[in-house]
Structure 1
Amino acid sequence: MERFHKTLADGVELVMTRTNQFKTGVFSVTLTVPLRADTATAYALIPDVLYRGSRNHPNMESLSAATDELYGASLGPAVRQRGESQCVGFQCSFIDDHYALDGMAVLEPAFALVGEILLDPYTEDGVFSQDFVASEGANLADRIAARVNDKRGWSIFRLVQEMCAQEAYAVDKLGDAQTACSMTAQALWDHYRTLLRTSRVTFYYGGSADVERVEQAIARSFAPLLSARQAPVVCQVVDRPQSGEVREVTDVMDVTQGKLALGFRTGGVVVNHPQFAALLVCNALYGGTAHSKLFTNVREKMSLCYFASSMLDKVKGLMVVSSGVEFAKFGVAKEAILAQLDAVRQGDFTQEELEAAIRSVVNALVSRKDSQGLMEDDGVSTALSGGDPTRPDELAQQVEQVTHADVVAVAQMLALDTIYYLTGEEG
Structure 2
Amino acid sequence: MSLINEQVDHINGLSLHTISTPKFKTNTIVLKLLAPLRKEDVTFRALLPYVLQRGTKSFPSSTSLRQYLDSLYGATLHVDLSKKGENHIITFRMEVANEKFLSDSTPLLEKAVKLLSEILLKPLTDHDAFNQEIVSQEKRTLKQRIQSVYDDKMRYSNLRLVQEMCKEEPYALHVNGEIEDVDAITATSLMDYYKKSLETDKIDLYVVGDIEQELVKKHVSQYFQITKQENSVSSAKQSDVDKASAVKEKEVIEEQDVKQGKLNIGFRTNVTYQDDNYYALQVFNGIFGGFSHSKLFINVREKASLAYYAASRVESHKGLLMVMSGIEFQNFDQAVTIIKEQMQAMKNGNFSEEEFLQTKAVIRNQLLETIDTAYGLVEIMYHNVISLIDRTFEEYLDGIENVTTDEVREVAAKIELDTVYFLKGKGDQS
Query: Considering the TM-score relative to the shorter chain, is it more than 0.5?
Result: yes
* Alignment correspondent of 1:416: 417
Deviations 1:109-153 (A, max 9, x none): 000001111111111122111111010011001000010222112
1:10-49 to 2 correspondences below 5 Å: 12-49=14-51
Q: Per the alignment, in what secondary structure is the counterpart of residue 416 of structure 1?
A: strand
TM-score of the superposed pair, with normalisation by structure 1: 0.96
State how 1:16-415 maps to structure 2 within 5 Å: 16-223=18-225, 225=226, 227-236=227-236, 237=238, 238=241, 240-241=243-244, 243-267=246-270, 269-388=271-390, 391-415=392-416
C-alpha distance in structure 2 between counterparts of 1:245 and 1:89, whole Å: 36
Whole-Å separation in 1 of the counterparts to 2:166 and 2:298: 30
Other structure's SS at 2:351 match: coil
Give 3-state SS (helix, strand or coil) of 2:104's partner.
helix
Post-superposition Cα deviations, 1:206-232, rounded to whole Å, max 9, x if no partner, equal 111122111111111211x1x443323
Native 8 Å contact 2:12 2:221 kept in 1: no
2:120 corresponds to which letter in structure 1?
L
Give 5+ residue unaligned stretches, structure 2: none
Tell me if structure 1 keeps the 8 A contact 2:262–2:327: yes
Q: CA deviation at 1:100?
A: 2.5
Contact 1:10 1:232 in 2 (8 A): no
2:371 aligned partner, one-letter code:
K
- Indicate conservation of the 8 Å contact 2:11/2:221, yes or no: no
Root mean square deviation, CA, Å: 1.5
Give the superposition deviation at 1:239.
5.8
Separation (CA, whole Å) in 2 of partners of 1:94 and 1:353: 42
Measure how far apart 1:361 and its partner are.
0.9
Structure 1's unaligned 5+ residue stretches are: none
Q: Secondary structure at the match of 1:182?
A: coil
Of all paired residues, the percent bearing the same amino acid is 35
One-letter identity of the residue aligned with 1:188? L
170-179 or 191-200: which moved more?
A: 170-179
Q: Give CA deviations for 1:5-58 in whole Å, capped at 9, x if unaligned.
A: 424158631223210101111112111111111111111111111111111100
Mapped partners of 2:76, 2:21: distance in 1: 19
Distance (whole Å) between structure 1 residues aligned to residue 166 and residue 232 of structure 2: 25
Aligned partners of 1:321, 1:300: CA distance in 2, in Å? 16
Shift of 1:300: 0.2
Secondary structure of 1:420 counterpart: strand
CA–CA separation in structure 1 for the residues paired with 2:418 and 2:38: 23
By how many angstroms is 1:182 displaced?
Answer: 3.4
Deviation at 1:66, TM superposition (A): 0.8
Q: 1:2 to 1:392 in 2, by over 3 A?
A: closer
Aligned residues: 423
d(CA) in 2 for partners of 1:10, 1:97: 26
TM-score in terms of structure 2 length: 0.95
Take 1:355 and 1:415, find their aligned partners in 2: how far apart are those partners? 25
Q: Which amino acid aligns with 2:229?
A: R
